[in-house]
């Protein structure tokens, strides 16, 4: 997974040109990016689905069909009834040159389950970063569910598990893991060693040259989000950053 000196990670797949966190967004990232990133949340009936927001309103027609709009309030069957493609065609959020003809052929419901994404990874050997989002479900259930599913498809060497909820990371054993941060932290190295993580994921606003070098000297990689500027990516790689999360590459 980390053999290449520097890596570009497709943030929620190739989300600048395809609906984020969909199989086609992951498929289209192959050959453009080195890895892809996706987000895992849990439905009301305890099934892991791939979607970024806890709130379904931004990327679906949930309000046209239900009086509830959070993933944990809806069953898998209800979520599989949503349209998460039309919003992208309508808004073109990154103002890119997109293939409308191709997009209009997609199934309107393209919200995948975790298992569907793992099958894709198994088939393509395209490594990924799985981010566990915060959930109302029991933490042990969440970690066991995800761990068992990854092991079912023998993908432990192909997936990096990350989260802002570091208590999740403390419960994970035998996997590559990464701690996500929104801002900088004091005594960072000691803290990450306690978490026993493979990587440190930090916003580009708060990445520090000293942290990157200190962590690398201690066997911990730094990956930075979200960096779409080519010049900035080069600066970060020269700093010693291993990977950058990108919505697109230019």
Query: Looking at the domain assignment, is residue 189 inside a domain?
Result: yes
**What average pLDDT does this structure show over 65-84?**
98
- pLDDT beyond 70 at 71: yes
pLDDT digits (tens, 9 = 90+) for 194-227: 999 999 999 999 999 999 999 999 999 999 999 9
**Which is higher by pLDDT, 84 or 4?**
84
Query: Looking at the domain assignment, is residue 2 inside a domain?
Result: no
As separate numbers, helices (DSSP H) first and strands (DSSP E) second, the chain gives 10, 9
**136 with 72: CB under 8 angstroms?**
yes
Query: Looking at the domain assignment, is residue 223 inside a domain?
Result: yes
Query: Looking at the domain assignment, is residue 139 inside a domain?
Result: yes
Output the average pLDDT for the chain: 97
**128 with 122: CB under 8 angstroms?**
no
Written as one string, the DSSP assignment of 115-129 is HHHHHHHHHH---EE
pLDDT digits (tens, 9 = 90+) for 42-59: 999 999 999 999 999 999
Other CB atoms within a 10 A radius of the CB of residue 88 amount to 22
Q: What is the C-alpha separation between 96 and 132, in angstroms, rounded?
A: 29
> According to the model, what pLDDT value does residue 193 have?
97
Query: Looking at the domain assignment, is residue 134 inside a domain?
Result: yes
**What average pLDDT does this structure show over 187-196?**
97
Q: What is the CATH number of the domain that holds 84?
A: 3.20.20.190
Query: Looking at the domain assignment, is residue 51 inside a domain?
Result: yes
**What average pLDDT does this structure show over 230-249?**
97
> According to the model, what pLDDT value does residue 1 have?
65
CA atoms within 13 A on the CB side of 229: 5
- Domain count for the chain, please give it: 1
H helix or E strand, kind and range, residue 159:
strand 159-163
Query: Looking at the domain assignment, is residue 86 inside a domain?
Result: yes
- Which tokens hold the place of 188? 């960072």
3-state secondary structure of 108: coil
3-state secondary structure of 203: strand
Query: Looking at the domain assignment, is residue 1 inside a domain?
Result: no
Boundaries of domain holding 86 = 7-246
| β pairing state of 221-225 and 243-246 | parallel
When pLDDT is cut at 50, 70 and 90, the band that residue 4 belongs to is confident
**What average pLDDT does this structure show over 161-184?**
97
pLDDT digits (tens, 9 = 90+) for 137-154: 999 999 999 999 999 999
pLDDT digits (tens, 9 = 90+) for 94-140: 999 999 999 999 999 999 999 999 999 999 999 999 999 999 999 99
């Amino acid at each position: 997974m980390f053999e290449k000196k520097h890596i570009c990670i497709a943030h929620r797949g190739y989300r600048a040109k395809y609906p984020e966190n969909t199989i086609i967004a992951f498929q289209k990232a192959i050959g453009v990016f080195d890895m892809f990133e996706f987000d895992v949340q849990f439905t009301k009936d305890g099934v892991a689905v791939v979607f970024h927001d806890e709130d379904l309103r931004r990327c679906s027609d949930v309000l046209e069909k239900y009086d509830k709009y959070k993933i944990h309030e809806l069953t898998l069957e209800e979520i599989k009834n949503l349209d998460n493609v039309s919003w992208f065609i309508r808004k073109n959020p990154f103002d890119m040159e997109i293939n409308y003809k191709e997009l209009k052929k997609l199934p309107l419901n393209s919200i995948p389950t975790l298992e569907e994404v793992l099958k894709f990874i198994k088939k393509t050997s395209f490594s990924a970063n799985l981010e566990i989002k915060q959930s109302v479900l029991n933490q042990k259930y969440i970690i066991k569910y995800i761990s068992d599913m990854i092991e079912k498809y023998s993908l432990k060497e192909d997936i990096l598990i990350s989260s802002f909820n570091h208590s999740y990371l403390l419960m994970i054993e035998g996997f590559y893991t990464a701690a996500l941060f929104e801002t900088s932290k004091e005594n960072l190295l000691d803290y990450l060693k306690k978490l026993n993580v493979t990587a440190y994921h930090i916003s580009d606003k708060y990445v520090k040259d000293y942290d990157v070098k200190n962590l690398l000297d201690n066997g911990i990689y730094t990956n930075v989000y979200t960096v779409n500027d080519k010049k900035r990516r080069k600066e970060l790689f020269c700093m010693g950053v291993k990977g950058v999360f990108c919505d697109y590459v230019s």
